[in-house]
Amino acid sequence: MYASVGSILPLLLFGNFLAIALPKESLEAALGVTGAEALAKYTSPVGTLWTLIPSNYHNHAACLFIFLTLLLLLAARFAARSMPTLSRKRKRSLVERKSYVQNHVKTKKAALYKEYLQQSVAAHDI
């Protein structure tokens, strides 16, 4: 979760910068009409927040966003380390169960369904 937020935040800021800095015709040529409208639509909340920050503090806000992004990416890295993983024994047993289901259970199910269809057709013909 932290990695996605840490990755999306700079992308939103960059998208907002593109939506504001480039002329509308250039965006439409690069992204198409619907792409340019989508970019403007999705980055409008970021643009609104950016206009609330006084222009004297834009550099401070950009540094804060960079710091926040790095902090979230570090939190994601440490959170991923603490997630439990499966042991080799457990992985092997899951692979064995999967192969058993694919080889035995599914073939038996298909055979039983075929038999059921034959019986229902035979009963319907009578």
- Residue-range domain boundaries for the chain: 2-81, 85-126
List, for residues 90-123, the tens digit of each pLDDT value. 999 999 999 999 999 999 999 999 999 888 887 6
Give me the phi and psi of 82, to 5 degrees please.
Answer: -85, -5
List, for residues 31-54, the tens digit of each pLDDT value. 888 988 888 888 888 778 878 989
List, for residues 53-72, the tens digit of each pLDDT value. 898 988 898 888 888 888 88
Q: How many CB atoms lie within 10 A of CB 105?
A: 11
Using alpha carbons, select from 126, 119, 116, 4 the residue that is nearest to residue 69. Answer: 4
Mean pLDDT of the chain: 83
> What integer pLDDT is reported at residue 126 of this predicted model?
57
Q: Which two tokens stand for residue 85?
A: 């993983």
